[in-house]
Chains A and B, each alone.
Chain A
Amino acid sequence: MVKGTVTGAATDAEVIGIQLAQDLRQQGATEILEQIFQEVQR
């Protein structure tokens, strides 16, 4: 499980979402999601 937090201006909502996703990718989110897709396709 990887987790993170980003705070910013509410008017930059999209940017906040993208930044958090990129942070979690650096923590290993991509590998976790790939593993899940392989498991559910079995």
Chain B
Amino acid sequence: MIASPSRPIRIGSRKSQLALVQTHWVQAELQKHFGDRSFEVHTMSTQGDNILDVALAKIGDKGLFTKELEVGMLNGDTDFAVHSLKDLPTRLPEGLILGCITEREDPADALVVHAKHQDQQLETLPAGSVIGTSSLRRLAQLRYHYPHLAFKDIRGNLNTRLQKLDTGEYDAIILAVAGLHRLGMADRVHQVIAPEISLHAVGQGALGIECRAEDPEILALLKVLEHQPTAQRCYAERAFLRELEGGCQVPIGVNTTLEGDSLTLVGMVASVDGQKW
């Protein structure tokens, strides 16, 4: 399906503020490179956006935040879709491929605290402090290192979660550093959690752009956004997750470092109680 130069290239995106910031960044970068083309953003809601009263792990479906965007591409309604790479399953529907991986932001997790805990760190928060996270991966690792803390599920987009924190429903919450940076909220990062404490999700901090496999024109456009070092790290992480047949909702964490041509991948699989196996 070739996009004629006379028609806009249609980009699929979720509707959340973070998704739109990421998609508009991609749109602006492509516009810089291809000034003679126009790019339109088409937003859609996904299953993960609509089911807010059930823990993510309980929904358990791979493609929770991507399926509707994929249907849009397969139907020809959009030409490519911008995802947080951590949400993109490692096995894609037939006819779709990962067209490119953009440069990664800091992939670490961050502690964000209620105002009353401004002087505290994870290790000094009072016993029983309620920490909000929807991620089994974060839960398992933090429960292992900080058994004195209480953990409670939290859902909703980033702004909703921050609001729940600020109104006192939680003492602190765990969010991705990258999301806070992209939304201009870097000042809310209270503590960057070291990989020795919590390994991040596969692909965290990078954007993955998915497109139709048989669309060489779109693939060629997307290649200008590919960041090779990030892609190498993320391909290793995604191969690890795929081989374990895990999704983004299972407690699997990674950290990759690239020194010259040498790539090191650290990975873990945690039980939900975070205990040693």
Contact = CB atoms under 8 A, between A and B. Distances in A.
Interface of A: 1-18, 20-22, 24-25, 27-29, 31-33, 35-37, 39-41
Contact of A21 (B144, B239, B251, B262): B239
A18 to B, nearest CB: 5
B64 to A, nearest CB: 13
A40 B239 contact: no
12 contacts: A1-B268, A1-B269, A1-B271, A9-B263, A10-B262, A13-B235, A14-B239, A17-B236, A17-B238, A18-B243, A32-B270, A32-B277
Interface of B: 57-58, 60, 136, 140-141, 144, 229, 232-233, 235-246, 250-251, 258, 261-272, 274-277
A32 B264 contact: no
Contacts of B242: 17, 21
A5 B275 CA distance: 19
B269 A13 contact: no
A41 B233 CA distance: 32
Nearest to A31: B277
Nearest to B262: A7
A22 B242 CA distance: 11
A29 B265 CA distance: 16
A14 B277 CA distance: 26
A29 B57 CA distance: 18
A10 B257 CA distance: 10
A10 B271 contact: no
Given A24-B244, A32-B277, A33-B244, A16 B269 contact: no
A18 B270 CA distance: 18
A21 B276 contact: no
A24 B266 CA distance: 11
Closest 9 CB pairs of A and B: A17-B239, A21-B243, A17-B240, A13-B236, A3-B268, A13-B235, A10-B263, A29-B269, A14-B239
Given A10-B261, A10-B263, A28-B277, A33 B269 contact: yes
Which residue among B242, B263, B269 has the maximum number of chain A CB atoms within 10 Å of its CB? B269
A2 B277 contact: yes
A10 to B, nearest CB: 4
Nearest to B90: A17
B263 A8 contact: yes
A36 B271 contact: yes
A4 B266 contact: yes
A35 B271 contact: yes
B262 A8 contact: yes
B239 A1 contact: no
